[in-house]
Structure 1
Amino acid sequence: MRSSSAKMLQIFGGLVLLVASASASANPYKRNVAYHSPFEAQPHLGFDLDTIDTRTARTERLFKRQTVDASPFNDEHYVLYGGADFTTAPFIWSGGVNFTHNVASGDPFSSSVLLWTRAAPVTGTAHPDQSVPICVSFSVWDNEALTGEPVDSGDAFTSWDVDFTVKVEASGLTPDTWYWYWFADCTNASTTSPLGRTRTFASPNTPAAQVNGGVPLKLAVFSCSNFPFGFFNAYRVARENVSADAFVHLGDYMYENKDSSTGHAIGRILSDRELATITDYRTRLALYRTDSALVSAHASAPWITVWDDHEVANNGWKAGTSDSNDSVATGGCAFSPSLTCFTDRKNAAVRAYHEWMPIRQVAADDKLRIWRNFRIGKLLDLTMLDTRNYDRDVTDDGWNRALVATLADQPQRSIMGLNQEQWFFDRLTKSKQRGAVWRIVGQQVVFSSLLMGTSFNLDAWDGYKQNRQRILEHIHDNAIDNVVILAGDSHANWVSDLSFPNDTTTYNFATGEGALGVEFAGTAVTSSSSFGSNIAPAAANVKSAALLAANPELQWSEGSFRGFFVLSVGADSLNATYYAMNNIRIESADGFASANFTVLPGENRLHRPVAGGTVAAGVLQNATST
């Protein structure tokens, strides 16, 4: 039998230790010898158990006051990558909620749309542990005054597992309709998020001329927003001056780079290491979502997004990036002090992206698949591809450029993976079969063949020639009209007729006859021009003129201004208007329309004269800028 006052001798590493009996005190921590000093003569090496016990009791009392019964609430959160299941949670947090990053919406269908917010515990209160979720309610109205009953409402739970982000699917909505929404603390309805606006798209069978009430649908298209390089004024112009119906982001929504002096003068400072861990990526996304133009753009209309490479890391492909892979021997894990190798880094980036972006999970068992399709009446199919992370063969990461050059024309080489490729062919064919007027393809890198001086960009489609050839052959052989390919990534503006590379027999670059479609490639929101950092318009135009001379399919080139473009999609025409920002070093909506292009159904080329024969920036084939 053990006496309550007995002490036991324990031999540990050749030392005699005195260990207090388990029942020597009411303090429960004294039962755990891990808290004790390993040496009797040096008690200061142990923990102050009375202080710990007092602190715990105080926390438990606070914690109990800040939880309530969860049974009245029904968790309807959209399933997130790595999220918890709260269906049997006995309590929810009631210690106060802070909607830290406003609201957002995305991936609209004809009767539903995703709504997003971030609901974190109020600063200064004890945080709930992983088993105690935060509950927020959501409400959706069909009018900005929020009169009448909500058309949809519910509750959603979140926790630290998903960085306190919340995604719900508002459903039962009317097609082709604008809505207003907000979130609120389930335990205190007076605590609400800011009000957001979103919309649904027309149902797939709506006649093209009736989509969006017969008014052209405006899609504002962006890429490459790099925080320290400037303010995201392009989003502000799209919201305030263009009144976009939806925002389409082609990737590089954020960058993984570590801090440099680039943004210090304007107060846009990054962390001091390159992103590697889940905390790194979450923190960077949270930082980007402090830009006021981005915040307001997310709250004003739904977004449709795909990633490029920098949402993970530079020049990514399926097994690595320019500075990371899974080999410790080659230094592929040494890019960060965390020593995180590529696979873990990619998983962390993908998880954070799904948490922070209002994007649907396409396949429950494949978190990496974000290629998906939107049928917007009989007006258009918007097909979003992933040419970076899904199943991309090795790309040009600098050190292997000579190798990749020998692979560029290999027949089995793919920038998108064979599964996605076959799916894409099927989408194009079914879009034609269902009678959609336009087939708009959102993807990352420049599709057209583009000779730059004496070389090609092997990190774009020029490094995957046979994959591009198969797509062009599918379009040609199946007589698929009205294909419009979008691209970002290059930090410059390019507008081209689509044709088979070096085809001087079928394609006439002067008239556009024989083209298979059109490509609109946009410049960056803020990232530096690929023509040269801070290059002036006149110097950029010299380079544009040389590019036009070397690439007859290329009809317009502009490399100085940062900005975006807007597609106005109607049944009788498609217009692309490019916008240039005058200054991104201050917050403003100071921009201008730099060029406007028209595509008519059935022509499969840029309508002539291209851009009406004049542009406000850049250089046209057979024309000069004003």
Structure 2
Amino acid sequence: MPYCVHSYLLRFQVLGDSEFMYPKYFIFLLASLAGARATTELLDRNLVYRSPFADQPQLSHNLQEIQARHSQLSRRQLKDASGFRDSHYPTFYGGDFSNSAVIWGGGLNFTHSVASGDPFDTSVLLWTRAVPISPDGSSELPDQSVPACVSFKISTSSNMAEKPADSGTAFTSYDVDWTAKLEAKGLKPDTVYFFQFSDCANSSIISPVGTTRTLPSPDSHTAPARRVNGGNPLTLAVFSCSQFQAGWFNAYGFAAHNTTADIFIHLGDYIYESLGSGAHIGRQVLGRELATIHDYRQRLNQYRTDASLSFAHQHAPWITVWDDHEVADNAWKAGTADSNDTALGCSFSSTGACFSDRKLAAVRAYHEWMPIRQVVPDDKLRIWRNFQIGKLLDLTMLDTRQYDRDITDVYYNTEFINTIAALTNRSLMGSAQEEWFYDTLSRSKARGAVWRVVGQQIVFTQLNESGSFDLDAWDGYRANRARVLDHLYKNKISNTVILAGDSHANWVSDLAHPNDTTTYNPSTGAGAIGVEFAGTAVTSSSAFGSGISPAAADAKSRVLVDVNADLQWSEGSFRGFFTLTIDADTLNATYYAMRNTSFANLDGFVSARFLVKNGQNRLSRPVAGGAVSAGVLKSNVPVN
């Protein structure tokens, strides 16, 4: 491919030049990339060079051009790269990579510590960012055409003194924002590990040590429910909606310091594309509303400078999905609240960006910065996946936003969405994901898993708010919700726990068909088929009103719990998170509230606790033991 074409593509990717914001230019440039393949192996282990869409390899970085750039260097502070070799691994961002002639030898800065994620029973993803240090000590980056080389090792020893369970090297470069994502393999199931990165060219330059773990084997003989996690309850910490300008990410730090969480679950809105003023609390976001790859990378970079978020990534593996704001507000399969691919939609966007361009940039940056796997090689954009955690549980992560969601409420069409909300052919997930979800639930029951925990973005339970409904949640896709409930009831699938974020408030409910008080008894919970735990935001403003006091929020909650049969607890003032502590007999949910997010602190308290017993398919009564420290319970709290 001619160098001039490649250089303009890099301008699009890194600078987001306005003349390359439109699909006709982008498609032309992508077509120019289609034929190039390299045949060597170094850099293969870095998972951030391939196309975000596995069935569209033309969206990969042009590895031949990058390799040519690496091998044509002279008169720079470099190291011979020939000694650094690793085993072949089919990476996220492209095929094989030629062994570069040179690597950067002037030192690296691990700017964003380390992270890990998507653990399996014998492998886990490890992540870091390694930026070359300028030899003159200035803040200016050195020659960015030279790749950096990082090594990793993973061990059961916290001081890394034991022989590594796995190790290797990989290159990174400015093409992927200096990120590196590698898979550590050959690990023992259900085991805590420690890992560290270093500079290949100078082993004295090291990253902080990270903590991660593998999952127990899904095999019933080696990991029965009572032996998972060494026989101790497994704890998941659940988060959503972390807006940088709205406050400090204290919930992450509180969870990492003050709970025994084994795995962190993020249900989406990890970043926000919007601006807004956070200057009064020292949280002014950089840049503009997000549109280009540069924009999304810059925002992810800034979010990860929060000390609590960085600490939480360093000390536990994460399992994540996206919501809408990782791309833009109220995203669905063909647009967002302020952009789509029509001529009007592109011009309507405050950035001038069309929807497909924004989505491609957002997905690429997300896969660069997040320790998440590519799920399958033949399905673009798929992030929905399932984790079998011994015989204790299946953790199923859905995408109810980006994958194939039918049109949602984008503010100017609310009346229209009201007229179609109950149509039988409307889907939140798309037919492929929906059928996969039902099959996953059934297979989980068939394999004998005790619990089925479903991580997804939006509130599942019907919430009648004085005659209005959130049409951007499951209330806008009522037939799809009915199909999920029907599958659970008809197939007698028990112990299902649905998680939700997005709403910026806390909601705890029994799962039943809305308004079906004949089958379901709100007082005792009889007739329910599961429970829903929906959590508030890490920082984003309350759905009850920005800065609302606990007393004012409780007044609204009292109306809601009285009107909605399934809803057992509502709380709308505090920001925070919740944990699920799971063993073979019980699932305990603990909600945590942060007292103040206007500055960095670890000041929080338990606002409510809930118990679900194996086989009961409802919240144990009295709900929350009959008392909570914040929010409102239903008035009727009969004893079990």
State the TM-score bracket (shorter-chain normalisation).
0.7 to 0.9
After superposition, residues 541-560 of structure 1 pair within 5 angstroms as: 541-560=554-573
Give, as a single letter, the amino acid of the residue that structure 2 aligns with 1:106: G
**Contact 2:106/2:132 (8 A) holds in 1:** yes
TM-score, normalization: structure 2? 0.85
What residue in structure 1 maps to residue 46 of structure 2? none
Q: Measure how far apart 1:272 and its partner are.
A: 4.6
Which residue in 2 is equivalent to 1:309?
A: 324
Normalising by structure 1, report the TM-score: 0.87
1:89 and 2:100 aligned:
yes
What is aligned with 2:159? Answer: 145
1:508 to 521, 538, 550: 521
Question: Residues 178-205 of structure 1, C-alpha deviation per residue, up to 9 Å, x if partnerless?
Answer: 1111101111111111111111111112
Matches within 5 A, 1:82-231: 82=93, 85-123=96-134, 124=138, 127-130=142-145, 132-205=146-219, 206-231=223-248
RMSD between aligned residues: 1.8
The answer to whether the 8 A contact 1:219-1:567 is kept is: yes
Structure 2 residue corresponding to 1:342, chosen from 348, 355, 375: 355
- Any idea what SS the aligned residue of 2:419 has? helix
Q: Give the match for residue 291 of structure 1.
A: 306
Partner residue of 2:385 out of 352, 355, 372 = 372
State the Cα deviation string for residues 499-534 of structure 1 (Å, max 9, x = none): 011111110110000001000000000000000000
Task: Confirm whether residue 270 of structure 1 aligns to residue 318 of structure 2.
Answer: no
Q: What does residue 326 of structure 1 align with?
A: 341
Distance (whole Å) between structure 2 residues aligned to residue 407 and residue 64 of structure 1: 66
Cα drift, residue 65 of structure 1: 3.7
Residues 1:536 and 2:549 are matched in the alignment: yes
Identity within the alignment, %: 62
Moved more, 389-398 or 70-79: 70-79
**Which residue among 397, 413, 420 is the counterpart of 2:426?**
413
Match of 2:394 in 1: 381
In structure 1, what residue type is equivalent to 2:593?
A
Provide the C-alpha distance between the structure 1 equivalents of 2:464 and 2:526, rounded to a whole number of angstroms: 22
Q: Deviations over 1:256-298 (max 9, x none)?
A: 002x33x111211113520000000000000000000000000
Distance 1:525 1:343, change over 3 A: same
SS in 1 for 2:346: coil
Paired with 2:342 and 2:168, the residues of 1 have a C-alpha distance of: 47
Picking from 249, 263, 266, the partner of 2:266 is 249
Secondary structure (helix, strand or coil) at the match of 1:120 reads strand
Distance 1:82 1:548, change over 3 A: same
CA shift digits 1:458-479 (9 cap, x unpaired)? 0000101111111111111110
- Does the aligned pair in 2 maintain the 1:103–1:299 contact within 8 Å? yes
Task: Give per-residue Cα distances to partners, 1:291-327, cap 9 Å, x unaligned.
Answer: 0000000000000000000000000000000001111
Correspondence for 1:594: 607
Question: 2:571 and 2:76 mapped to 1: Cα distance?
Answer: 61
* Of 77, 83, 98, the match for 1:66: 77
What is the CA distance between 1:93 and its match in structure 2?
2.2
Matches within 5 A, 1:23-42: none
Rg comparison, structure with higher value: 1
Instruction: Assess if the C-alpha contact under 8 Å between 1:84 and 1:161 holds in 2.
Output: no
CA deviations 1:223-259 (Å, max 9, x no partner) are: 000001111110111011102101000000010002x
2:286/2:302 contact within 8 Å kept = no
Deviation at 1:76, TM superposition (A): 5.7
Cα offset for 1:549?
1.2
> Which of 386, 410, 414 pairs up with 1:401?
414
Identify unmatched segments of 5+ residues in structure 2: 1-69
Q: Which of residues 544, 556, 567 in structure 1 aligns to 2:580?
A: 567
Give the paired residue count: 561
Distance 1:332 1:129 in 2: 33
Q: By how many angstroms is 1:104 displaced?
A: 0.2
* SS of residue matched to 2:203: strand
SS at match of 1:100: strand
Contact 1:76 1:157 in 2 (8 A): no
Q: Which moved more, 1:227-236 or 1:363-372?
A: 363-372
Matched residue type, 2:448? G
Residue 148 of structure 1, CA deviation: 2.0
Per-residue CA deviation, residues 390-441 of structure 1 (Å, 9 max, x unaligned), is: 0000000001111111111111110011000011011100000000000000
Distance 1:60 1:245, change over 3 A: closer
Give the Cα–Cα distance (whole angstroms) in 1 for the partners of residues 339 and 187 of structure 2.
44
Corresponding residue for 1:455? Answer: 468
CA contact (8 A) 1:209 1:379 kept: yes
Whole-angstrom CA distance in 2 between matches of 1:496 and 1:558: 12
Q: For residue 75 of structure 1, report the CA deviation from its aligned partner.
A: 4.6
**d(CA) in 2 for partners of 1:75, 1:63:** 25
Checking the alignment, whether the CA contact within 8 Å between 2:287 and 2:295 is kept in structure 1 is no
